Amino acid sequence: MNHDTTPASPGTPAPLSPASPRPLGHLLDSQRRVMSAAQLKAHGVTAAAVHGQCRPGGPWQRVLPGVILLHPGPATGEERLQAVLLYAGRPQEDRAQPRRTGGVPAQPLTGDVHPAPAVPYAEAMVTGLAALSLHGFVSAPPLLSLDHVDVLVPRTRRLRSTDFARLVRTTAMPTPVQRDGVPVAPVPRALADAIAQLSDASAVRRLLTEAVRAGHCEPAAVVRELTQARLLTRPHVVDAVDSLLAEGRAIAEDRLYRMVVEYGLPDPLWNVDLRLPGGPHLGGVDAYWPEHAVAVELDTRAPRQDEDALWSEYARKREHLERLGITVVHLTPRKLREALEQQAAVVRTALMAAADRDPAAYVVVLPR
């Protein structure tokens, strides 16, 4: 058979040869085992190649719409998280993506080039029980045992829950916390989203109790989120919150007692009511130094619908006591948890300043 070896004339375009499939070894060797279809395209993998790799019995699998698992076995807990974020998030520009300059495509990646590490994804974060597990809650189920992974997204996103990805929509996205490189909702928001899906009263109580005992957050922050989520209409949630507030106050009182002992403050009278002789009740305080006319009051209010009324009551009591010459030091559980030494200095300063003040009115001190 004769072969025409005549070179093409300069003005004749050369015949097109089929494009060679791009090698996939650099993806298989990468630590990134979950990628979106858009990321694979950025690495030069065509939709047809993805379809071929994901055929039954193939080396890849499609775990969520537009999300590919680059191995045939079951997804790990971490891979499920990555898949949900890839599905729900808006990825920032992939640093491994070939760039076009002056209309000319960049050269394809070679086999020894690895994809850049996974980058954060905007407008999506893990929440609910999966987030609590990442925060270290022992009462939260392991990631692999969860039927769904909750992911928080803006209300305007046009996405639907599918398979193990359950979307939770919000009008105001909180600032995420990074846990092992995964954007996670703060504990109070994650708790509210988890409790919204739970009907088991004991499970709700365990989560709320651990949140306070383990120091993950303050009760007031949890109640605020539960109020915004309109979950305080559920009786089992209300009962758990009441226990949460009692637990939070007990922990704050213990820290206050420890502060007095550890930082060498004079012993106060603990948990007393103050009353004018033969007059009205002035209110209760958590600690009182009668020789110095100094009182400490813990603010363990729960932010519910009557928050303004409660705060007005606190303010009126404080103003009344101070008009009588009693200094009121206002402490919060969070201040005692995060800055105990600083709060001890505040109380010590108030005690030392007593000598420079006019004598306070005489009040009757009664056990509370």
For residue 334, the model assigns a pLDDT of 85
DSSP string, 145-188: G-S-EEEEEETT-----BTTEEEEEESSPPPPEEETTEEE--HH
Question: Are 96 and 43 a contacting pair, CB within 8 Å?
Answer: yes
For residue 26, the model assigns a pLDDT of 53
Taking residues 262-266, report their average pLDDT.
96
How much of the chain exceeds pLDDT 90, in percent?
61
Asked whether the predicted pLDDT for residue 19 surpasses 50, the reply is no
How much of the chain exceeds pLDDT 70, in percent?
80
Q: What is the domain partition of the chain in residue ranges?
A: 255-367
Domain 255-367 sits in CATH 2.60.40: no
User: Is 120 or 343 the better-scoring residue by pLDDT?
Assistant: 343
Taking residues 180-184, report their average pLDDT.
92
DSSP 353: G
Taking residues 67-96, report their average pLDDT.
83
For residue 14, the model assigns a pLDDT of 39
Closest to 249 in 3D by CA, of 298, 318, 312, 311: 298
User: Is 301 or 250 the better-scoring residue by pLDDT?
Assistant: 250
Asked whether the predicted pLDDT for residue 326 surpasses 90, the reply is yes
For residue 91, the model assigns a pLDDT of 58
pLDDT per position as a tens digit, 40-49:
998 899 999 9
For residue 18, the model assigns a pLDDT of 33
Distances (CA, A) of 103 to 94, 98, 99, 165: 19, 12, 10, 38
For residue 55, the model assigns a pLDDT of 93
Interaxial angle between packed helices 201-213 and 235-262, expressed in degrees from 0 to 180 and rounded to the nearest 10: 20
Distance CA 132, CA 139 (A): 9
For residue 43, the model assigns a pLDDT of 87
Question: Are 283 and 248 a contacting pair, CB within 8 Å?
Answer: no
Longest dimension (CA), the chain: 125
For residue 258, the model assigns a pLDDT of 96
Lowest mean pLDDT among 9-18, 255-264, 358-367: 9-18
pLDDT per position as a tens digit, 184-228:
999 999 999 999 999 999 999 999 999 988 989 888 899 999 999
User: Is 90 or 25 the better-scoring residue by pLDDT?
Assistant: 90
Asked whether the predicted pLDDT for residue 92 surpasses 60, the reply is no
* Average pLDDT score, the chain: 83
